Amino acid sequence: MVRKMNSLANFKEKFIGDKAFYKRVLFIALPMIGQNAITSFVSFLDNIMVGMIGTEQMSGVAIVNQLIFVFNICIFGGVSGAGIFGTQFFGKGDYEGQKYTFRFKVMASAVLLAIAVLLGVFAGTELIQLYLSDAGDVGNVELALQYGKDYLAIMLFGLFPFAFGQTYVSAIRETGHTLIPMIAGMVAMLTNLVLDVVLIFGLGPIPALGVRGAAIATVIARFVECCIVIIWTHSHKKQNPYIVGAYRNLYIPSNILKDILIKGTPLMLNEMFWATGMAAIVQCYAVRGLEVVAAQNISSTITNLFNTVYLQLGGCISIIIGQLLGAGKIEEAKNTNRKLIFFNVSCCVGIALLMMVVGRWFPNIYATEESIKELARNFIVIAAAVMPLNAFCHCTYFTLRSGGKTVVTFLFDSVYTWVLVIPVATFLAKYTTLPIVFVFFLVQSLEFVKAIIGFFMVKSGVWLQNIVEGKE
């Protein structure tokens, strides 16, 4: 009995935090969860409204959004590379160092934006065609292609506010001010929602613009969100001291620039290769026909709503642990990280069960074929089953990243995806006759191997390091 009580006490000490711990976590995480949930909800509503027009429209939009997803993740990678330094500089109280990281983010976002626009203009049609297949009995491929091109032509204008908006959002979050991005996201959501109804279906003298209307609504909403975070940052210099003189020049000390490039480049490359890897996996499924594309779109949109919790709690790890490491509190960082991982996975067990029960009903909202709805239901159940596993892998990734182990995260994330996951998905989807649901299940199950690798890497403590010590 005594042994059991001691074991329980040890368990609580290791994995359960006190009130101050959960207060700090929730203070940072809840606004981030709220912002991400808002974004996912807007995508959810967009999908429903576009799905009301037809399967081809929904599929064309879904394909373009998959391509834009790659750009979005590349932006996250571009700002995160410098962000691991920015967080630790803030923890150290070095606002000049944070200013230098901000400048790097601005330049990285500008370069990625230019590349994305050029690809969209000159190779957009070819990229959309990669996801279109004549297999299956549902939908017109040529029509889906045209809708996709129409949607992409407008969405390219939305890349600018997203790129620079995220540059500011990442800097704001480094200081722990996660509420402002959430407010900006809420305003953007309401803007998008109102404009969706008006522009997609038409109202009074305003004609129904269909997929073009959905794209215009999204672009305007992104500009609104971007303007809010930029205006707030520059009008609250006390909370954001790094912004003072940030645009006076583009100077970054050579030692800091070198470290950001050494540590940040693998992270940026990781995000790029991981995002293109996810797009490649979706493309593997797409060879089974437009029906699968539509079902994947429905399931992923709904799944993203539920995934918000573990995604943002993972992001919370990078902020809290990064600040502790920057302040030199190594042992506290180790203990806090263990509790954060346990909290995240525990939350996701409950959310996964809820998603498994509730998620199956969501496809009924869409005005599309029953076969697509049933396929989407199966995808949702599988995604729910692996959610706790995904949550753990996500936590280990951000743990390693917070300590500047960007080469390790590159191997852990992107190399794993391209060396194992994509070949398996390609073989099963393109060269076997296995049902697509079973293929999806097998591919998702590969996350178990990644979880084992992540566990041992975090346990080793290789990430417990201050990467800004001595940097001025």
**Residues 39-60: pLDDT tens digits?**
777 777 787 888 888 888 888 9
pLDDT score, position 82: 84
pLDDT grade, residue 194 (50/70/90)? very high
Distance CA 446, CA 383 (A): 12
Could you tell me which residues are beta bridge partners of residue 203?
206
Distance CA 204, CA 151 (A): 23
pLDDT score, position 268: 80
Residue 250 DSSP code: -
Q: Of 469, 173, 466, 459, whose CA–CA distance to 334 is shortest? A: 459
Is 414 exposed, middle or buried, given 0-12, 13-18 or 19+ CB atoms closer than 10 A? Answer: buried
Query: Given CA atoms 442, 445, 450, 453 in this order, what sign does their dihedral have?
Result: negative
More confident residue, 171 or 412: 171
* Whether the predicted pLDDT of 351 surpasses 70: yes
Q: Of 76, 228, 73, 216, whose CA–CA distance to 156 is shortest? A: 216
Distance CA 376, CA 367 (A): 13
Average pLDDT for residues 321-330, to the nearest whole number?
85
pLDDT grade, residue 86 (50/70/90)? confident
pLDDT grade, residue 272 (50/70/90)? confident
* Whether the predicted pLDDT of 6 surpasses 80: no
* Whether the predicted pLDDT of 256 surpasses 70: yes
Q: How many degrees, rounded to 5, is the angle at CA 286 between CA 69 and CA 67?
A: 15
Q: Of 303, 305, 285, whose CA–CA distance to 294 is shortest? A: 285
pLDDT score, position 471: 53
pLDDT in tens, 435-468: 999 999 999 999 999 999 999 989 988 888 877 7
More confident residue, 428 or 289: 428
pLDDT grade, residue 12 (50/70/90)? confident
Helices (H), 287-364: 290-326, 330-358
* Whether the predicted pLDDT of 85 surpasses 80: yes
Percent of the chain beyond pLDDT 70?
A: 96
pLDDT score, position 4: 60
pLDDT in tens, 392-422: 999 998 898 888 787 888 888 889 999 999 9
Q: Of 65, 217, 185, whose CA–CA distance to 131 is shortest? A: 65
| Inter-residue long-range contacts of 227-233, CB under 8 Å, 24+ positions, other chains counted | 227/161, 228/180, 228/183, 228/184, 228/187, 228/188, 229/165, 229/168, 229/169, 229/172, 229/180, 229/181, 229/184, 230/164, 230/165, 230/168, 232/172, 232/180, 232/184, 233/168, 233/171, 233/172
* Whether 162 contacts 185, CB under 8 Å: no
